[in-house]
Chain A
Amino acid sequence: MTESKSGAEDGAKGGTKIKIENLYKIFGAQPRVALARVKRGVSKRDLIEQHGHVLGLKDINVEVAAHSVTVVMGLSGSGKSTLIRHINRLIEPTAGRIMVDDRDVLAMAREELIEFRRHQASMVFQRFGLHVHKTAAENVAYGLVIQGMPVDQAKAQSHHWVERVGLSGFEDHYPSQLSGGMQQRVGLARALATDAQILLMDEAFSALDPLIRSDMQGALLELQAELHKTIVFITHDLDEALRMGDSIVILRDGAVIQQGNPQEIILHPADDYIFDFVKDINRARVIEVKSVMTPGRPAGGAAVTVRDNLVLEEALQRVAGAGAADVVDADGAVLGSIHLEQIIAGIARPGVKGGGEIRYK
């Protein structure tokens, strides 16, 4: 884990960009009636079996920090796509509030909403959502054309994005002439070309082969280190979530069951559902020293120092001989200490916080 996600190293993160409050979405003929039922405690399962309504989202409260990558994770049907489509209001909520830069997205009139979508938030889709009757360059220019720019000018202006995502030479190809990975590069360039601050990515890489997928993750991280967008990134894959996310929100049955930074979630999974997600990952390669160290106190007389963001696997090699080390930040200031036992405990599988007496399903 050498790459820095959102230029986290520079520490230049703003406040909250997107704030979702008490958001509910119920699919069905009479969502208001069903909403009252949900608020009275009817479960998702009972709601569909007895009342014929689908509980899409339930009391979602999420804050998305500016210039960072927030990953939304959950199994199929947990409401990820529904949630992300509320941010640009492709789906109307049943109840709740969505603030972007202190503007209420739900209060926007039609025209305002169109302006918001044109300039503030762009989107990348799981199955690409390209227009098959347009060339790659025309697809990339689409957002600008929609803003009212003539096609040729839009193509010229968006051309550097075609290059940035590595599509030079394929400008005049139609989507059907491109591989899946290349099609999604078109999708990514199209989203970047409008210069929108917010990037909504709904399982953008899920349809790709593992190798291509890893390439695309790398490409996105590289771009992000430079562009500092506010990205909401959806995935059902923990490895991807850990690699991409500055923070992670976990959904189940339409409700948020845990949110926090990746380290926290791995070390303290809130319940069995999340435990099942995290139990098989290689913890030594994900957990960083700062998550398991003893803060504040230097290890008496230790000659070894390790960086706070070193993963345990690498820290283990350095600390193994001495048995303990000082933890330092980028400037060399001592943040605390770490002992061999702490590293080993960190690598071992955790128990479930709260005892794990509730099994999901």
Chain B
Amino acid sequence: MSLFTEFPAMGRQDLRDFKKAIDAGFRDFSRQFGESLEEFFSPLLQFLVWLEKLLISTPWPVIILLVAALAWFGSRSVKIAVGSVLSFLAIGYFGMWKDTMSTLAIISVATLLCIALGIPLGVLMARSDRVQAVVTPVLDVMQTIPAFVYLIPVVMLLGIGKVPGLIAVCIYAMPPIVRLTNLGIRLVEKEALEAADAFGANYKQRLFGVQIPLALPNIFAGVNQTIMMALSMVVIASMIGVAGLGVPVLRSISNQYLALGLMNGLAIVALAIIFDRVSQKYGERLQSHRRGTQHD
């Protein structure tokens, strides 16, 4: 009868040995390769550190100007440009300037990394159904597995620091850009591609002349999502030693500092809204030729 009330689980001792074996195996692996992995990632680390320092040491009025210019050229909307500048002024006024710069640095690097890896992967997926069948479940796992779970092996391998933080952010933030690149390319109109083939386009001309330009609005939606998801990882990344707006949030959780948590949280939200509006407007302008509006 106990067979039905209690699940016939593996013996306790066996289970413990099983887990131990995995842990030991991974520990050996990290002992053996941890250092070379760190070396492998060191250019990334240097770039991140350099960017962070640059942003922090740049005089704030310059940054404000830069924000205004980027917001304007991205969105061509006065409202969005003014809103962005006001948000940054408020952030500085409430003493969150430096943390915001750190966050901007890691978000930028993470986004660049996701684009650099994600778009080629998406292109490969669009090219072959087999690659798509293999990659899709991996992306599903990346998006749904709790961040804390993959933090464990990452930290075991690389310790606490910026690089493991960056990796954690990328694992979570990369799937949308891969998926939307794949989708965008697959949705390109068949006749447009057939025309390219009929006129003798080779693989490169087909990809860069037709598929990617026509998939660009979707790819861009992917970039937008990737930025949003990277921002949402800021607090978790700060748990393993990434500087930025996540750190005070974490501190206010353990100490019940309501105001501090709220302010830093709102700063993250402000960044997210700015990125989102600017990149969406930019994406819309990329599509203007489809609706038949005048192009500029």
Contacts and interface: CB of A to CB of B under 8 A. Distances in A.
Nearest to A143: B199
Given A176-B289, A176-B292, A131 B200 contact: no
A59 B22 CA distance: 63
Interface centre among B209, B214, B291 (most CB of A within 10 A): B209
Given A117-B198, A176-B289, A130 B295 contact: no
A130 B292 contact: no
Contacts of B290: 132, 176
A145 B209 CA distance: 10
Contacts of A320: none
A174 B292 contact: yes
B45 interface: no
Contacts of A133: 213-214, 216, 289
Interface in B193-223: 194-202, 205, 209-210, 213-214, 216
B289 A122 contact: no
Interface size range of chain B in the complex:
20 to 34
Contacts of A115: 200
B191 A129 contact: yes
B192 interface: yes
B205 A146 contact: yes
A88 interface: yes
Interface string B124-156: 000000000000000000000000000000000
A205 interface: no
Interface string B168-211: 00000000000000000000000110111111111001000110
B200 A117 contact: yes
A132 B292 CA distance: 10
Interface residues of A, number: 31
Contact of B200 (A116, A129, A132): A116
A128 B195 CA distance: 9
B285 to A, nearest CB: 13
A185 to B, nearest CB: 15
B188 to A, nearest CB: 10
Contact of A194 (B197, B199, B214, B216): B199
A114 B200 contact: yes
Given A129-B191, A131-B192, A133-B213, A174 B289 contact: yes
A132 B199 contact: no
A117 B289 contact: no
A175 B290 CA distance: 8
Contacts of A90: 194, 197-198
A109 B214 CA distance: 29
Contacts of B291: 176
Contacts of A118: 199-200
Nearest to B216: A133
B198 A174 contact: no
A174 B199 contact: no
A123 B200 contact: no
A125 interface: yes
Interface centre among B194, B200, B214, B289 (most CB of A within 10 A): B200
A321 B295 CA distance: 66
Interface string A176-209: 1100000000000010001000001000000000
A328 B195 CA distance: 46
Contacts of B198: 88, 90, 117, 121-123, 129, 200
A200 B199 CA distance: 11
A129 B192 contact: yes
A233 interface: no
Nearest to B210: A131
Interface in A68-125: 88, 90, 114-119, 121-123, 125
Contacts of B202: 114
B192 A146 contact: no
Interface centre among B195, B292, B295 (most CB of A within 10 A): B195
A194 B200 CA distance: 11
Given A131-B213, A132-B214, 6 more contacts: A114-B201, A117-B197, A118-B199, A133-B289, A143-B199, A143-B200
